[in-house]
């Protein structure tokens, strides 16, 4: 069941059919597998008049837009992750730097849509349920709904191209139009409709350029090949999940090149042209566009904001309003200076403490020490000699520089407790020691002493602010100050754990640099020399995004899900409201559509395997059956590959997962369902042609499936469009009797 364009065909037969099709000179004919027959013509394949075909596309698109834009303004308050992505759109309008675990394209487009529709970027997007009041939010929702509406015609055209069957394309469109889950995701300020648009556009573009196999290097071939690369860049630029459609296009490209390599009629020069065309359009062009989105992202977001602390000191030096921007600070660290100490591991943050104590049973019940990603007064420390008080900054003590190998104390400025460690076990990381704040007014004990070391420096060398990579060795235990990167429970304010690691090694988690440095007794130097290059910024951004993605945790009172839940529609996701007085929106797939998709995957694996074995063994099949089996293997294999690539990788991910992550895979399963049932109904009609009118059997089956999905949408549409009033268990509720699974929480 090869998913390549010629799936199921031996190379020689594929080439011979391509040659025969090339003589016909039509792109549509070039992809037909079976010779045309009166029955297939009667069954409404592509022999329809062009106007009729475009009328169906228009009808499908109209229904898609009508369902997605209906009640788009409701509810007039923040729903679920609009909190994040609406706020990020505001950041772009205000040019304020922020951090997110996804690439920037989707948020930039949301911000642009808001700006063009009159939104001024002043709404705070604090939490779900907050009313939008007079703020213009429809433009951002409308943009997402527009792209969500285009998913249906894109799926329709893709199935039509691979199956040459209007009924298969129409059934696919109906499955997506009448799916409550796709509808809900399309109506809010989210990245999902943007991501799915680029995934579907990439798939259609790939299928279209493959349909011009017999006209390589023609204008349409170049157009669709280039458009594939552009859409791939778009998919990856919205979320890293876009990598899965890149893998699918890459697999098809390798398969196509392999078939071309087996065509002995092609010269090596021609083969080289094919290879270079694909490198140019599918690798170079997407990379250029992808990097351009980051260049625009960094250019627009040039003001200091809540994302500063996730990035290095050098990165922050380029942000207007940051204390490091165009700043001048003392170059060398001195005793008595007030400093902040930043971990060199991406997305770890600043050494931090606060007046709260570790809870009972967590090591010694002393003051908590953590790392914190945001600028805060609790990040400030005073560096002192280990055995004497260096005195306040305004005293008459002479300036004395801190040197590599010195023994020091770090006193927390806000609480006057010293950085301290001992043999008690760390809160989360076993075999590491606990780090605390200890003492009164800077007076503690010998467990407050640390040796400061600069990487690759000699004893006695002075320590440079920002540029020296330093570590702190605890004198009593011999361990090294580190941050595990693990989030503490709520008693630790979900900040990151700081430990003293007895296994001394130079890793970013145990390396630090001094960032802020306040000492009026010392001369200042300009920090302009620290500003990084674009390539350094790009690399650092990706490191921070990857680490942030892996560390994602569920929000308060939020239900997460597991990948095995998704295909069976086991549990939805509450978008808005929970009480009978709330406006309630619940993300749940249309169960008829989703369970039909699951059944179709199983049936395809069975039927596809049978046909693949029969063709491989050279079994002589009737022309009609062979033609339909080739369509099933070629198109169905493409959709099955897409489903597998967009679903199974989630089983390997360590990050938190949600129901909405399945929807790209759901698009592929719906296209597989449309193609499979159209093919099975045609085969059934063919086998019963001697007894019953074949046209009637096929059409009755298609109409039955269309009516079934439409009726199930009628039953479940309140979940998507929202409802107020009695809950599902109340007989007066529109959802009464429809809670088919106990795990559904509407």
Name the residue with higher pLDDT: 695 or 216.
Answer: 216
Beta bridge partners of 384: 409
Of 238-242, 392-396, 457-461, the least confident: 392-396
The percentage of residues in the chain with a pLDDT greater than 90, rounded to a whole number, is 67
**Range from 69-73, 136-140, 194-198, 618-622 carrying the lowest mean pLDDT:** 618-622
CA 629 to chain CA centroid, Å, is 36
Using DSSP's 3-state secondary structure scheme, residue 65 falls into: helix
Give me the chain's average pLDDT, please.
Answer: 88
Average pLDDT over residues 589-596: 97
441 confidence band (pLDDT: 50, 70, 90): confident
- List the beta bridge partners of residue 411: 382, 418
For residue 549, is pLDDT > 90?
no
Please tell me whether residue 725 adopts helix, strand or coil conformation. Answer: coil
Residues 368/434, Cβ–Cβ less than 8 Å: no
What are the φ/ψ torsions at residue 525 (nearest 5 degrees)? -125, 155
pLDDT of residue 29: 37
Looking from the CA of 614 toward its CB, the CA atoms found within 13 Å total: 15
Span 627-672, pLDDT tens digits:
899 999 999 999 999 999 999 999 998 788 899 999 999 999 999 9
In DSSP notation, 92-116 reads: HHHTB----SS-SHHHHHHHHHHHH
59: Cβ contacts below 8 Å, ≥ 6 apart = none
pLDDT greater than 50 at residue 20: no
Confidence band of 351 (pLDDT split at 50, 70, 90): very high
**Residue 393: both structure tokens together:** 């900054």
> H helices then E strands: how many in the chain?
20, 16
pLDDT bracket for residue 12 (50, 70, 90): very low
> Average pLDDT for residues 549-563, to the nearest whole number?
67
Distance of CA 213 to the CA centre of its chain: 33
Between vectors from CA 562 to CA 559 and to CA 568, what angle results, nearest 5°? 100
pLDDT of residue 43: 43
Bigger pLDDT: 726 vs 664: 664
Q: What does pTM read for this prediction?
A: 0.84
Residues 60 and 710: their CA atoms lie apart, in Å, by 13
Rounded Cα distance, 312 and 317, in Å: 9
Specify the DSSP class assigned to residue 534: H
pLDDT at 200: 98
Measured CA to CA, the distance from residue 549 to residue 655 in angstroms comes to 7
User: What pLDDT, on the 0 to 100 scale, is given for residue 530?
Assistant: 67
Where does the pLDDT of residue 79 fall: very low under 50, low under 70, confident under 90, or very high at 90 and above?
Answer: very high
Query: For residue range 363-383, what is the model confidence (pLDDT) as tens digits?
Result: 999 999 999 988 899 999 999
CA 485 to chain centre: 22
Mean pLDDT of 515-521: 90
What average pLDDT does range 556-585 have in this prediction?
85
Rounded-to-10 torsion of CA 171, 176, 179, 180: -150
Q: Is pLDDT above 70 for 531? A: yes
> How far apart are alpha carbons 112 and 147 in whole angstroms?
14
Integer Cα distance of 319 and 398 in angstroms: 35
d(CA 90, CA 121): 4
Average pLDDT over every residue of 394-408: 83
Q: Domain 328-526: which CATH class? A: mainly beta
Looking at residue 534, its pLDDT comes to: 93
Q: Would you state the pLDDT for residue 393?
A: 55
- Mean pLDDT over 261-285 rounds to 94
- Which among 53, 239, 189, 162 has a CA at the least distance from the CA of 668? 162
Is residue 277 exposed (0-12), middle (13-18) or buried (19+ Cβ within 10 Å)?
A: middle
**More confidently predicted of 325 and 238:** 238
Residue 516's H or E segment, with its range, is strand 512-518
Interval 36-53: pLDDT, tens: 444 444 444 445 456 777
According to DSSP H, which parts of 25-78 are helical?
Answer: 27-30, 38-42, 50-69
Q: Are 380 and 414 in contact (CB under 8 A)?
A: yes
Residue whose pair of structure tokens reads 């019940």 in the numeric block: 365
Q: Is 742 exposed, middle or buried (0-12, 13-18, 19+ CB in 10 A)?
A: exposed
- Gap between the terminal Cα atoms of the chain: 40
């Amino acid at each position: 069941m090869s998913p390549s364009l010629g799936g199921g065909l031996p190379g020689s037969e594929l080439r011979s059919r391509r040659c025969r099709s090339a003589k016909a000179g039509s792109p549509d004919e070039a992809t037909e597998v079976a010779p045309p027959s009166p029955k297939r013509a009667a069954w409404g394949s592509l022999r329809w008049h062009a106007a009729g075909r475009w009328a169906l596309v228009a009808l499908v698109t109209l229904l898609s837009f009508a369902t997605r834009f209906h009640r788009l303004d409701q509810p007039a308050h923040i729903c679920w992750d609009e909190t994040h992505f609406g706020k990020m759109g505001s950041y772009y309008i205000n040019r304020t730097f922020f951090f997110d675990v996804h690439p920037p394209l989707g948020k930039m487009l949301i911000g642009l849509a808001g700006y063009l529709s009159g939104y001024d970027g002043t709404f705070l997007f604090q939490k779900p349920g907050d009313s939008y009041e007079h703020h213009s939010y429809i433009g951002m929702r409308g943009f997402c709904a527009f792209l969500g509406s285009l998913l249906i015609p894109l799926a329709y055209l893709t199935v039509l191209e691979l199956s040459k069957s209007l009924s298969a394309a129409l059934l696919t469109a109906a499955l997506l139009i009448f799916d409550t889950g796709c509808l809900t995701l399309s109506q809010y300020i989210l990245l999902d409709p943007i991501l799915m648009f680029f995934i579907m556009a990439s798939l259609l573009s790939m299928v279209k350029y493959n349909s011009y196999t017999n006209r390589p290097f023609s204008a349409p071939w170049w157009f669709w090949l280039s458009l594939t690369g552009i859409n791939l860049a778009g998919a990856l630029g919205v979320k890293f999940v876009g990598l899965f459609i890149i893998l699918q296009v890459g697999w098809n490209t390798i398969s196509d090149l392999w078939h071309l390599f087996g065509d002995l009629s092609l010269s090596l020069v021609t083969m080289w042209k094919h290879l270079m065309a694909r490198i140019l359009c599918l690798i170079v062009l997407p990379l250029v566009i992808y990097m351009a989105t980051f260049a625009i992202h960094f250019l627009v977001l040039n003001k200091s904001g809540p994302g500063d602390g996730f990035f290095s000191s050098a990165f922050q030096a380029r942000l207007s309003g940051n204390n490091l921007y165009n700043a001048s600070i003392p170059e060398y660290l001195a005793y008595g200076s007030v400093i902040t100490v930043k971990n060199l591991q991406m997305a770890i943050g600043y050494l931090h403490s606060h007046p709260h104590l570790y809870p009972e049973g967590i090591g010694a019940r002393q003051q908590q020490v953590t790392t914190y990603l945001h600028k805060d007064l609790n990040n400030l420390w005073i560096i002192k000699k280990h055995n004497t008080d260096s005195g306040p900054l305004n005293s008459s003590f002479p300036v004395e520089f801190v040197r590599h190998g010195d023994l020091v104390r770090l006193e927390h400025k806000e609480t006057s407790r010293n950085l301290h460690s001992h043999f008690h076990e760390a809160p989360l990381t076993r075999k590491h020691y606990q780090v605390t704040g200890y003492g009164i007014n800077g007076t503690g004990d010998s467990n407050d002493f640390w040796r400061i070391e600069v990487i690759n420096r000699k004893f006695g060398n002075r320590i440079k602010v920002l540029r020296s990579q330093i570590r702190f060795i605890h004198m009593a235990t011999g361990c090294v100050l580190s941050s595990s990167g693990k989030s503490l429970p709520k008693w630790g304010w979900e900040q990151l754990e700081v430990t003293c690691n007895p296994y001394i090694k130079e890793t970013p988690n145990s390396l630090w640099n001094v960032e802020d440095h306040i000492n009026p007794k010392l001369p200042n130097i300009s920090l302009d020399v620290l500003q990084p290059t674009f390539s350094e910024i790009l690399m650092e951004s990706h490191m921070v995004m990857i680490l942030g993605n892996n560390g994602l945790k569920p929000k308060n009172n939020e239900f997460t899900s597991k990948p095995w839940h998704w295909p069976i529609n086991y549990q939805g996701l509450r978008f808005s409201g929970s009480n009978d007085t709330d406006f309630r929106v619940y993300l749940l797939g249309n169960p008829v559509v989703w369970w039909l998709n699951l059944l179709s995957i199983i049936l395809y694996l069975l039927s596809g395997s049978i046909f693949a074995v029969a063709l491989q063994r050279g079994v002589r099949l009737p022309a009609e059956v062979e033609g339909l089996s080739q369509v099933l293997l070629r198109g169905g294999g493409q959709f099955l590959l897409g489903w597998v690539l967009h679903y199974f990788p989630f089983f390997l991910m360590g990050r938190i997962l949600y129901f909405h992550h399945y929807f790209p895979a759901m698009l592929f399963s719906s296209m597989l369902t449309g193609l499979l049932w159209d093919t099975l109904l045609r085969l059934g009609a063919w086998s019963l042609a001697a007894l019953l009118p074949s046209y009637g059997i096929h059409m009755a089956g298609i109409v039955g499936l269309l009516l079934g999905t439409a009726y199930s949408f009628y039953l479940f549409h309140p979940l998507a469009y929202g409802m107020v009033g009695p809950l599902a268990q109340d007989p007066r509720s529109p959802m009464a009797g429809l809670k088919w699974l106990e795990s559904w929480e509407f």
